[in-house]
Every structure is written in structure tokens, then in C-alpha cells.
Structure 1
Amino acid sequence: MALSPQLRPLIGTWRGPGSGHYPTIDPFNYSEELIFRDVAKPFLVYQQRTWSPDGRPLHMETGFLRSPTPSTVELVLAQPTGHAELAEGTLTAAENGLVLELQSPQVLVAASAKPVAATARTYRLVKNQLSVDFSMAAVGAAMTHHLHSDLIRAED
């Protein structure tokens, strides 16, 4: 089984600035790197890392992205914070790109982790620009937009 051709435009390294906010924290900025790697299987390996403006490592997550049908996607993620997600959703071809909209209506949470009830992610690819939006229901708050980043394809 081969990689779904709809996912091919995502392959590569993406970098750029991001910003975050949530009812329980102060607004913040960060830098993000997102890698989608082809491993000659019917999925992409997904790696994401962020840094504070002064270079300190912040969040990271790793997982797998697959498209079992031309219009659906699944993203399986693990995070060192004690969270695991299975996000499912749609893949839509758009002018010069694509849109992935994923929801994880339930998050597996370790006993020592902060409570996260659900997440939603949107990836919008237009040519060599990838925008990412992340929402979550966590620590008692309803589903709320949390993060936005604007990434460009890295040349390396």
C-alpha cells in the first residue's frame, strides 16, 4: 500500500512564527518546526517542536498522518506531557493546496498530566505556506482556540 497522493504536498520541513492564548494563561509567542516525512509506507511520520523567543524548548509531539480515503485523514499523536490523541477528520483539495480539519473528541491523559478533554486542528496549505490552528477543551475550559502558526517550507 502506497502513500495517499493527497498527502504528498505536505512532505518536508516547515518553519515559522506562532502565537498562543488561552483563558488560563498569558498570551505568548513561539517559533515552530513541523516535519512531515515520507517513509515509503501508507502514512507520513509527523514531528512538531516549538521554542520560546529566547530559544528555550517548549512543546513537542510526534506521530503519524494517514489518509485512508481521498477525503479523510487520521493523525495519531503522542506528547511527552502525558497526552495521546487520535484525531480524525477531512481532507479537502483547495486552490493551490489542501485543508485538513481534524478533531480528537477524546484525549488519553496520564494521571500526572493536566486534563485535556478534546482537541481540534486545522492545517491549511497554499503553495509553500502552511497555517496551523489548534483548539482545545482543557483544565475546565470549553473548546477554545489556543494556537496559530504561519509556516513556510524550509529549503534544507
Structure 2
Amino acid sequence: MALHPGLAAFADLVGTWRGEGHGEYPTIAAFNFIEEVTFTDVGKPFLHYLQRTWSPDGAPMHTETGFLRLIDETSVEFILAQPTGQTELAEGNLESNPEGFICTLTSQMQNSASAKQVDATQRQLELSGNTLTTKFAMAAVGIPMTHHLKSVMYRKDPHPES
């Protein structure tokens, strides 16, 4: 199946990425994690996204899923759902470069009645060759926008199928 032509800027993102990360936030102890992210081409003008994290000893930590949409050459939407009761509509800019791209997104949040209060998030995806770096900040539980997570992942399959 050929990648939808509207996703050309994301062609090198398709596949599974895995690496290590570090998290911190004023209300919790700092921690390390293993992260795996998969971007799947489904033949439509968006990629399906699945993210999972584990503690260094293998205990499951977090997961989220959603859809990454390239609206035009420089505009991106990332629609996410989390089992902790939040949904995110993140929108932002795509800056392409010879090695890949940087995508910076700011969200609108919706919290379920039982979820911890998350007011806003900021995400950054940076693809440089076979390295995917993610950064995540959030305004939550009364704390203003603050850095929370960073991970550096590498392509799990160096030659993903198109």
C-alpha cells in the first residue's frame, strides 16, 4: 500500500521507534522509562499512533493512542486519547529540514470527571535520520506549563515496509 500523498513529510516516521526517557514534574519523584511508539500507515491522509511506556524493570506505565494528520505543508493536528481520562487536540507547525522535521504542538484538553486535571500540553516531535526525540510539557493539577517528559528513540526496524 502506497503512503497517502498528503503524508509525504511523514514518510520517514512510519514504523516502530523504541528508546529511553526521563520524566519529572513538581508533584512527583523523577523517573526513567522505556518508550515504544508506532506510527502506522492505514492508506488514509493520517497515521495511526500507539505509544507505550514501561519502567526500567518492565512494569507497564502509560499508553496513549491517536491520529497524526498533516493538514498542509506546515500545519499538523495530533488527536490523542489516554486511559487516564484525557483527550488532546494538539495543533501546531511542522518545520522540515534535510534530516527530517521538528513538529511543535499545543493542545486543547478535555478531562473526564474522574481524571486528574490537565489544563494544557505542549509536545515536540523531532525526527533526525533514524532518531526520534520527543518532549512533553503540561499544565496540570494547579502547576503552570512545566517540562514533564523527554525521550530519545531509534527505529526498531531499520527498513520498515511501505
The interval holding the TM-score normalised by the smaller chain is over 0.9
Q: CA deviation at 1:95?
A: 3.2
- Partners of 1:14 and 1:78 lie apart in 2 by 20
Match for residue 55 of structure 2? Answer: 52
1:32 to 32, 35, 52: 35
Match for residue 20 of structure 2? Answer: 17
SS of residue in 1 equivalent to 2:77: strand
2:7 to 4, 7, 31: 4
SS of residue in 2 equivalent to 1:5: helix
**TM-score when scaled to structure 1?**
0.96
Q: CA deviation at 1:52?
A: 0.6
1:73 to 73, 76, 84: 76
Root mean square deviation of aligned Cα: 1.1
| Structure 2 spans left out of the alignment, 5+ residues | none
> Is the aligned partner of 1:141 residue 2:143?
yes
SS of residue in 2 equivalent to 1:142: strand
Q: How many residues are matched?
A: 155
Deviations 1:60-117 (A, max 9, x none): 000000101000100000000000000000011123111110000x310001000000
| Structure 1 spans left out of the alignment, 5+ residues | none
Match for residue 43 of structure 1? Answer: 46
Identity fraction in percent: 53
- Partners of 2:130 and 2:7 lie apart in 1 by 19
Superposed counterparts of 1:69-108, under 5 Å? 69-104=72-107, 106-108=108-110
- Partners of 2:83 and 2:140 lie apart in 1 by 17
**TM-score when scaled to structure 2?**
0.93
Q: CA deviation at 1:2?
A: 4.0
